[in-house]
Structure 1
Amino acid sequence: MGESTATSGGTAWFVVLYARPSTRKHKKWELDGFIECPSNGECLLWDDGKRNVVSRSTLTPAEIANIRDGDEFGFGAYEVQIQEAMAAPRPPVPVIKPATPQLQPLATRNPAKRPLDDGLDLNAPPVKATRGFVSPFASVQAKANNWHLDENEKSAYIEGRIANKLREHQRDGILFMYERLTKCPGGAILADDMGLGKSIQTISTCLALLKNNAIAVKSPADFSTYSSSCTAYPFLICSYDMVLRHHGRLAPLNFDVLVCDEAHRLKNPDAKLRTALESIGAERRLLLTGTPLQNELCELYSLLDFTQPGRLGTSAEFAALVKES
């Protein structure tokens, strides 16, 4: 059974997944949110940003007290799955609209810059793979004569048809992740805001590691968009719900890299999902999140410790280190 209900001022709060009612055997949980359960039983389902009430329901005090991690039940127009009890979330940060920019005459604007060198041949035929899947990081293979993020010995090879879509901050992100994931143990957190291209950066990094050696894990439809040269199947893509149900079958597969999207869901080190992912045992871990950590040092430490376990000592040692710096 899960932990006891957390209360704040007589109100219980829970982190949940929710979706429209479904008759499927394995439900597909679509959205993250919070349930607020005050003492009067008039409960609210909030969205992930705690800006909008999604649904309402009435629960008795006994029903609220008996809620445990993993419970599933109807809540208004939705079905919910309890992830964990929590303290009251911080109020949402107000969104400040930027001032309207002053438009310049067309003649004074800076000309658009090409994101890549003019010498890049985007029409070159794709390089045919000459090998199948090999053990990751076993040996460095010869690289094709396409674009490289870096011109040194450990350059990250990216196919031209992906390279021509990358912006400068995305190239920097790929280099950052590539450098840290080639180490063992290694790991990184990519915390770009929504819309800055975390998916293409992650896919490019995984393919760069795969080109040089082999590896990884990430998101479904994007791989078919950006990669057609994988003749083997080195990527396993699954939801957190599937990990919770089948982590015992995943652990023996010896994954080289674990990529976790929506990583803010791993803040609680005692949550079932966190424990299931740790049991997989991948020594290289990449976390992706666009959700702010609300300036909580313990949350930052929790994600850093999941990325590279033990690297920063205990939570108290990490707090002292931050205070000293």
Structure 2
Amino acid sequence: MTANSNAAPVIGFVGLGVMGGPMCRNVALKHAGPVLAFDSNDAAFDAVKETKARRVASLAELAAEADIVLLSLPGGPAVEAVCLGAGGLAGGARKPEVIVDLSTTTVASARAVGERLAAQGVAFADAPVARTREAAQRGELSIMVGASAELFARIEPLLRYMASDVTLCGAVGCGQVVKLINNALVFENTVALAEMMVLGERAGVAPGTLLDAVSKGSGDSFVLRNHGRKAMLPRDFPEKSFPPEYVLKDIGYVLELASSTGVDAQVTELAQRYYSATARNGFSGRYFPAVIEVIDNGGRTATSAKG
């Protein structure tokens, strides 16, 4: 606990990757108190250059100083290891008061980690983020939070360093529920738009004209204005963006949740087959709207293969 209850808490940040780097930078630029940063990759600290963020050498060092720790990690196993593994945040004599996970994990993982941390006196919130890396750089993410109302009131001002929209979705795990549904809708909408762009072009309508016209009607969407215009229209699918492998991870989480709740998520399963085909057919590691190339080349692999 901070020595002075009126003092700004010491914030720790773990994971300075594509999204975590700009998020940590915003925290370091906006928070009144100290900010500590940890990542296993030396190059990751370029994201917080010329800020007050102070690099620490280990998770144990971070836990010994930070009151509230924010995580941005690849998935549930990494979150569990960082929080509860040997040398993790809860492993020492002094533990953070609060851990807020900004990663995308399964709902079951979030709830299990929350329960195990609570048993050690550490409050936990799942707070996955939505929107693009550019939104992260601008501090304009959308964050969906699973936490008690009391904990949410405490962490919301900190989350607003990184986000223009922060929503309490329910108890621990509910942030992940909403994030996974959000992602599934984006991935499914992208497949549908890609299919219609190919159809329109083959029927004689230029893709740019199609997007202009549809954007003026009820078929408009975030996916059309962003993934459609910026990636599928120019057929530009760079590396180091959100690849089909990441899509498949999130879709796997959605299907796990659907199975546990008795929902037959057939549309999500179809999207899974399309993105599996995208990863197999020359677009591994490249931006996921490349699914349009699979559709343009027949889509037979996507609809026939279950892999």
Shorter chain as normaliser: what TM range? under 0.3
TM-score after normalising by structure 1? 0.25
TM-score after normalising by structure 2? 0.26
- The structure with the largest alpha-carbon Rg is 1
